[in-house]
Structure 1
């Protein structure tokens, strides 16, 4: 059985971007993410120091890679992507071992 993949992305926002405005653009991206084949769940959070953490659960690595490859195409994703300070982005993919809902 193939284990689900957890995509973890950490990043900071560009100077001047307000968290509330960014959260609206993140919500607008839900249509893209949830429409991708293999999507299971998405969570986005941030701490007091301005570090954002996004967790997306995918059915498998192929689904995660396909979603990442197409993320820049939809115009509705651009406000979200353009608010992120690119050099601060880190992305990892790990196999889900334990999950409780």
Structure 2
């Protein structure tokens, strides 16, 4: 059985976007990812330097790619997406080797 996929996205917010407002918009995306086939978990954190890191665990790469392709469609995801500084975004997919809860 293939390992789960960890999607890691780093980004910064556009100038003028507050952390609390962004965090609220980020919770709206939970409905979207929870409804995606192959979704396992999501974590979003922010460093003191303003760099946000999102980790999403997927059952497989196909699920990760399908979710990424559709994230812009739901109206509820738009405030989250529009707050992100596009040129700052990096995305990586890696295979999970070890997980401890």
Match of 1:86 in 2: 86
What is the rounded CA distance, in whole Å, between the counterparts of 2:39 and 2:29 in structure 1? 13
State how 1:1-101 maps to structure 2 within 5 Å: 1-101=1-101
CA distance in 2, matches of 1:28, 1:70: 15
Unaligned runs of 5+ in 1: none
Where do 4+ consecutive residues of structure 1 move more than 2 Å?
none
Distance 1:38 1:46 in 2: 25
Unpaired runs of 5+ residues, structure 2, are none
What displacement does 1:87 show? 0.1
Give me the whole-angstrom Cα distance separating, in 2, the residues matched to 1:92 and 1:34: 20
SS class of match (1:24): helix
CA RMSD of aligned residues (A): 0.3
Give the TM-score, by structure 1 length.
Answer: 0.99
> In the comparison of the two structures, how many residue pairs are matched?
101
TM-score in terms of structure 2 length: 0.99
State the distance in 1 between where 2:26 and 2:41 align.
Answer: 14
